[in-house]
Every structure is written in structure tokens, then in C-alpha cells.
Chain A
Amino acid sequence: MTTPPNPQATPPAEAATSNIYDLGYRRYEGERLGRRDAVLALYRESLRGAFGLGRSTASKVGPAILIGIALVPALVQLIIAAVIPIEAELIRAEDYYGLITLVLALFCAVVAPDIVGRDQRNRSLTLYFSRAISRTDYALGKLAAMTTAMLAITLAPQVLLFAGNALGTQDFGGFVADEWTQIFPIVFTATIGSALIASIGVVVAAQTPQRAFATVGIIVAFVLPLFIASILVQEIGTEVLRPAVFISPLDLLDGTTVWLFGGTLEDSVADQAGFHPATYLAGCLVITTIAVGLLLRRYAKVQA
């Protein structure tokens, strides 16, 4: 037998202190931050997505492995410096990109199709373009996220190497006093390189919603010019073919890096081509500008 509830009964003590209110849907009276913050939100979410954060474990594996590989030379240097008690600098900063060139291209090929291809695959561009941002905002937000993601693989190993070398010496203060001039080229080349590779990767990936096509397209965009420039400049090497170095973004980045670190170009395509190193920096900037222009054009026209 059940006892009917007594409306006069005193409610249990906890009921007096814990109530659940279903307020339902209410109108929003709060602050609206506008377009600038909307673009920042797009940038943050894209950057998180680049590393698979907030996504499945499978999405985290690719970027994590490639960042790990990019860090290997720096870690090897640091381990050797720690184990062998001599001051040996096996890897110098200006050589670093040379060691991980293909890893940079691969990282871009894995991440860029995720950053820009996902919204095309899901057909969610419409949702972005019908909100507070413009098509140009969207393109630049995505490019900024990709450039920042690239910094994880260009700047982080260099910083690790610099810090490790500094800590590995007997005289930390002396190392920093001698080598502080390296900081500008480290940051500058990482930024230039990241922007160059990101802009090419994003503009290629933006052409197709198909992930596989975008990945292959990006690898081809970096590796094919590398081979062509190598054959035309190094193997054939006639005067008229030397400008072929300017079709290869990674060779231009190599030439720029060595120049900014004050090193010498030895046996590289940029060295064999024989142009003034400043022209390689100009080449990087021109290619980046063209890629950004093509990206903006693509998003001005893409169907939403």
C-alpha cells in the first residue's frame, strides 16, 4: 500500500537547498563581440583541429608523429651533448631545415587538408559565410591557423636545439652571450618558412574537398619542384637553367635560411644556382604573396 503525499509535510532538508530550474530558451541580452573575435574563434578552433585536439585519437596520431620526427635531430644532439662530455655541435641551426625538409612538406600535407578541407567535405562553409565573418576573413583565419601549426614543427625544434645547446655547455651565460644573434634568424626563418609552406599547402588543399587528393597535391607541389630544380640546376646546370631554383619553395627557404644564419651554401641547389641570397628571400615572399592571392580568389568564388 502506498501513502498519498501530504502537501503539508515538511520537505526534506536537501530539497530546500538544491533546486533545478529549467529556464528553457531565453533571449540573449549579453555582449556581442563582432567580427574580429569571430575570426579569432575560427583561428583557435582550426588550430586545435590541426593537432586533432577535440577530435578522435586517430586525428592526433599523424601530426604528433611528424612533430616527433622533426624533433629527433635536436634530441639526438642534446643526448650526445649530455652523454659525451665535450662541446660538440653536431647540428647547426641553419642545417636544421635541410634535415627535416620532407617532414615539413609531409606535416603540411597531413594538416592542411584537415584545416581547410573539412569544412568543404562537410559542406559547412555555408554556416560560416552566413555568420559574422566574410569570405576573406575565413580564408585568412584558416591561413593564420595553418601558419601557426607549422611553427610547431619549424620553430619548436630550433628553440629546443638552442636551449639544449645552451644548457649543455659548461658556461650557460657565455653561450647565450655568444649565440644570442642566432635568435633573430631562428624566429625569422621559422616565420617565413611557416608562412611559405602554409600558404602553398592551404591553397592546394582548398581546391578539393577530397582529403587524399589534397594530401597528394601538396606533396607534389613541394617535392616535384625540388626534383626539377635539382635536375635543371645541379645535373644540367647551364646558365639559362639556373633560375629554375625559383620554382622550388623548399630550395628558396634553404637559401634564405643559410644566408640569414650567416652560413655558406655548400652543394645545395641554391648554392649551385648562384644568385644573391637576398633574392631567395624575395622569392619566398613572392611565392607566399601569390599563394595568398590565389587562396583569397578561391574563397571569393567557392560555392557556399
Chain B
Amino acid sequence: MSVVQTSGLSKHYPGVRALDELTIEVQPGIVGLVGANGAGKSTLIKLLLGLIPPTAGEASVLGYDIATQGPLLRQHVGYMPEHDCLPLEMNATEFVAHMAQISGLPRTASRERAAETLRHAGLFEERYRAMAGYSTGMRQRAKLAQALVHDPELVFLDEPTNGLDPAGRDEMLDLVARTGRGLGISLIMATHLLGEIERVCDQLIVIDGGRLLHYGPLSEFTERTQTLDVEVAADADRLGERLRAHGLDVTVEGHHVLVSLDGAPPFDLIRDTVVELGLGLVRIQQRRRTLEDLFRLAPEVVAS
């Protein structure tokens, strides 16, 4: 069963089409929602949560209609906003337990869940401290804890690593991966950082200018290309010439000799040629497409 289904979903503001005719059916998993700043990621999340009404189209989340079943749907969905949203004068336990109650959980269960969720988020020791004293990383964790406390089936994360240093970023991504894979909660994570998507997501939605560019498993985007990348310490040009003489289709880029493949990779030939020329071989590997390549392609190509 899909977690999100939209049909012609649009949100227009005066002079801006924040989201335009989005039709998509998202499967459970950790889904990256990627696009440049202003591409429509936050607008899509807010529409799916029923925080803003659509201009046109319809959508359902976990089978609940966003227009007519908002409060019911939101009992089963979590949301971690991009911006600061914590009442800093409260401690994390009180705040997270209160948020659980606002999601419809009984009082005692809310306190138990708050403790468990804060432990999961790595804030157990600091849970009785006022959040005003928290670092940026701890505040992001508290934001994630409030999104998970009512045990949602689907969580929307809007730029969860915003403002974090590299170590904090790694920890947050690990936490996202553990939440998605370990607990089986589906996550839709908006980000403009492709590296994050490659690290934790198994599906990808690409939007640009409010329009859907592509949706599919991440493996489709990062599959191996038909190019063998041979990196040498020096004299890549000589290696390129010699391989061309053997009938290979070769391009040279700096220290890299890129060999177009047509069948099995000629590893032995390359190794022997490198030895003959007395070059230092750094690596031989089949190139993978990166998400950066995706954005370098024209939208029509990606859509096809």
C-alpha cells in the first residue's frame, strides 16, 4: 500500500506556482524529497499534513484524505519542521509528553513514550534539562523526538540536518536510518543535500520549480554506467593513446582515463598496459551515476 498518493496536486500563490500538478504514488521506505531551495519541498509537506489547503487536485496520506480527514490522518503522521519550534523554557520530557497527548495518547502512556523516544533520539540523560541550554544538535534531536513520540506510521522531516556540524549531521542521518530501517517507520525527508539522500534513502522524489522531475528507487539513479574509470598517478595521455591503439573508445580527463565499455571490462589489458608504460595505477572502477549527474541532465531527459 502506498503511503502518499496525489493527483494533480497544486498550490499557487499570487505570481508563484509553488507546486504544480503533482501526481505521485509513494511507496513505504525512506524517501528523499530533493530539490533546490524554493523547489516546493516544504509546500508539498505542508499540503500533505493539511497545514495549507491545495489550490487544486487531491491527495491522501496513509489512505486518509487530506481535505476531509485531517485530524484523523495527523494522529498517524509525524512532522519535524525545518524552523525552530521548541518552547525553550520547557524541559524535553514535559514537552515531548505534552506533544504525545496532543496527538491523542493517554497521559501515562505519553510520559512513558516521551522517555523511550528521547532515549532513541539520544537525549535520555538531558531529558530533564530546559531546552534553552541545548546545542543545535540536541534541539534537532528533540524536534525529531516530538515527531516520533506518538509512534506515527509516516514521518515528514524537513531539512533535518539544517544548522548541524559534520559530526551532528552524521549522527542525525544515522538516527534517521535507524528510525526508518530499525523501526519500520516510513520517512519522507526533504533536503537539498544530495549526499544525505545517497546515504540514507531508498527512494527519491525530485521536484524542481514545483514540478515533479522524477520518482523511483534510488538504485535507478545510482546504477553503474558503461564507463570504466582508470585513475593513474601521471601520464594519463600516454595510457589513453596506447589503449586507443588497442581499439578501445577512450577519453582522458586529468589523471582519469575513461574507457567506454561494450561487453566485459578489459581489466587484464589495462593492467598490462599500465605495467608496460611503468605508470602508477591508483584505481580501476566502473563509474556509478551520482545524483549530481541527475541535476546536470535536462529535465526532459530525467523525466524520460
Contacts and interface: CB of A to CB of B under 8 A. Distances in A.
Interface in B49-101: 49, 51-52, 70-72, 74-75, 77, 79, 81, 83-90, 94, 98-99, 101
Interface stretch (B5-13, B26-34, B111-119): B111-119
Nearest to B178: A25
B210 to A, nearest CB: 19
B173 interface: no
A45 B83 CA distance: 23
B150 interface: yes
Contact of B51 (A24, A38, A119, A304): A304
Contact of A25 (B70, B89, B146, B183): B183
Interface of B: 46, 49, 51-52, 70-72, 74-75, 77, 79, 81, 83-90, 94, 98-99, 101-107, 109, 113, 116-117, 119-120, 146, 148, 150-151, 183
> In the complex, which of the residues A24, A119, A126, A131 has the most CB atoms of chain B within 10 Å of its own CB atom?
A131
Q: What is the predominant secondary structure among interface residues of chain A facing chain B?
A: loop
A31 B113 CA distance: 13
Contact of B102 (A27, A28, A128): A128
B102 A38 contact: yes
Nearest to A124: B85
A38 B103 contact: yes
Given A24-B116, A37-B104, A38-B103, A127 B71 contact: no
B156 to A, nearest CB: 8
B49 A130 contact: yes
Contacts of A124: 85-87
5 contacts: A32-B104, A37-B106, A118-B87, A126-B83, A130-B51
Contacts of A54: 90, 94
A93 to B, nearest CB: 38
A123 B85 CA distance: 5
Interface string A286-304: 0000000000000000001
Contacts of A130: 49, 51, 74, 77, 79, 81
B89 A56 contact: yes
